[in-house]
Amino acid sequence: MEIAFWLIAAATIYFLPGRHLILTEIAILALFALSLDLILGYAGIISLGHAAFFGFGGYAAGLLAKHALVTEPVLALVLSGLAAAALGFVTSFLVLRGSDLTRLMVTLGVALVLREIANRYSELTGGADGLQGITMAPLLGIFRFDLFGHTAYIYSLIVLFVLFVIARRVVHSPFGLSLRSIKGNPLRAAAIGIPVDRRLITIYTVAAFYAGVAGALLTQTTAFASLDVFSFDRSADLLLVLIIGGTGYLYGGLVGAVAFKLMQDWLAHLTPQYWQFWLGLVLVAIVLIGRERMGRWVSPLRILGERLSERIARLFGAASGTEGR
């Protein structure tokens, strides 16, 4: 099933050349959602301000490019991610204590503070107009960013894939298991010797790294960074992505991102001004229907998908041994 997903994703490079711009958006959103899933689905931390790391990484990448501090985009990407991770580390202590509401407030507060700072220091960040005048050097010195977004999409997809594989390894490891136990019963987790705080800080920092990379990708692929990377809307949309796709199994962010973007695109065509209404309605409906029930509806599809993918994998395996992974 997983192989099928990535094969299809890779196939879109060739089969949907005209849609690369929106596909890049989907890939970035998917990475962002993946980063939130790490803390929400695996560690049980509710965050309304994950956009803080997204935006921080985004502005870091923008500033690195604009002032030609680091011109090679991949390197800049990693550095921006690390910057966001540092921010994540520093703020992780805020989410260790307190109730769900406290965590909500604190995470939201951090995102808002960052937005205020970005707004305040407009000489540096461009303020409400955004960070402009960014020109991206070719990737690894070779691949230019083209106007149609082809390079951007392949770049984003590869970054998503690499980070996904790492995340997958992490969540299936003993570390990931300890996170799930912390999420399930933090009291008992501590009572069997798990250093709960340390694990939470670690995953929060890693999630911040991922979010920062996503933000940096956005800046690099659009050559622009604006204040709305910190906006509440972005964090809220992200939550919607994860509830559509489901949390706790990593693919939720990816599937949800696709579904969300498609839905958003469709709704925006229908009612350009008031699509937020329908978004809200979907949110309300999903919660009322119940996320587990939705999962149950989806599972026959998933089983079908699994059988299909086995066939496809065999086909591809027969045709060429080097496709996909």
Partner 1 sequence: MLTILFDGVAYGMLLFVLACGLSVTLGLMNLINLAHGAFAMAGGYVTVVLVNRMGVPFLAALPLAFLVMAALGALLERTLYVHVYAKSHLDQVLFTIGLVFMSVAAVDYVMGSSQQFVKIPQMLQGQVDLFGTGVGKYRLLIIVVCGLLTVALQLALTKTRFGSRLRAAVDDQRVARGLGINVNAVFAVTFAFGSGLAGLGGALGAEILGLDPIFPLKYMIYFLIVVTVGGTSSITGPFLASILLGIGDVAGKYYAPKLGAFAIYTIMIVVLIWRPQGLFARPTTR
Partner 2 sequence: MAPALETIGIGRNFGGIVAAHNISLKVEKGARHALIGPNGAGKTTFINLLTGMLRPTRGRILLDGEDITTVAPFLRVRRGIARTFQINQLFGDLTPLETIGIAVSERLGSGADWWRLPGSRPRVTDDLVELLDRFRLADVMHERTATLPYGRQRLLEIALACACKPRVLLLDEPAAGVPEAERHEILATIEALPADVTVLLIEHDMDIVFAYADRISVLVNGELFVEGTPDEVGRDPRVKAVYLGEEAIDG
Q: Which residues bind partner 2 (CB under 8 A)?
A: 169-170, 172-178, 180-181, 184-185, 187-196, 198-199, 202
- The amino acid present at 230, given as its one-letter code, is F
Q: Does 262 bind partner 1 (CB under 8 A)?
A: no
Using alpha carbons only, what angle is made at residue 247 by residues 271 and 174, rounded to the nearest 5 degrees?
Answer: 155
Residue 100 tokens read as 């769900």
- CA–CA separation, 168 vs 306, rounded Å? 18
- CA–CA separation, 36 vs 58, rounded Å? 16
As measured in angstroms, the least distance from the Cβ of 312 to partner 1 is 35
As measured in angstroms, the least distance from the Cβ of 248 to partner 2 is 9
Residue 209 near residue 84 (C-beta atoms within 8 A): yes
Of the candidates 77, 80, 85, the one whose C-alpha atom is nearest the C-alpha of residue 35 is 85
Q: Does 288 bind partner 1 (CB under 8 A)?
A: yes
Q: Does 40 bind partner 1 (CB under 8 A)?
A: yes
Residue 205 tokens read as 């920092």
Q: Does 102 bind partner 1 (CB under 8 A)?
A: yes
Stretch that binds partner 1, among 97-105, 132-140, 157-165, 298-306 (CB under 8 A): 97-105
Q: Does 46 bind partner 1 (CB under 8 A)?
A: yes
Stretch that binds partner 1, among 89-97, 134-142, 163-171, 188-196 (CB under 8 A): 89-97
As measured in angstroms, the least distance from the Cβ of 191 to partner 2 is 6
As measured in angstroms, the least distance from the Cβ of 32 to partner 2 is 21
- The amino acid present at 298, given as its one-letter code, is V
Q: At what angle do helices 232-245 and 51-66 cross, to 10 degrees?
A: 120
As measured in angstroms, the least distance from the Cβ of 293 to partner 1 is 12
Residue 143 tokens read as 């691949």
- CA–CA separation, 236 vs 32, rounded Å? 12
Q: Does 263 bind partner 1 (CB under 8 A)?
A: no
DSSP 148: T
- Would you state the torsion angle of the CA atoms of residues 49, 54, 55, 59, taken in this order, to the nearest 10 degrees? 160
105 binds, among partner 1, partner 2, none (CB under 5 to 8 A by kind): partner 1
Residue 32 near residue 186 (C-beta atoms within 8 A): no
Closer to partner 2 by Cβ: residue 175 or 232 = 175
As measured in angstroms, the least distance from the Cβ of 103 to partner 1 is 9
- CA–CA separation, 241 vs 220, rounded Å? 23
Q: Does 274 bind partner 1 (CB under 8 A)?
A: yes
173 binds, among partner 2, partner 1, none (CB under 5 to 8 A by kind): partner 2
As measured in angstroms, the least distance from the Cβ of 259 to partner 1 is 15
Binding site for partner 1 (CB under 8 A): 40, 46, 48, 93-94, 97-102, 104-106, 108-110, 112-113, 116-117, 119-120, 232, 236, 239-240, 243, 273-277, 279-284, 286-288, 291
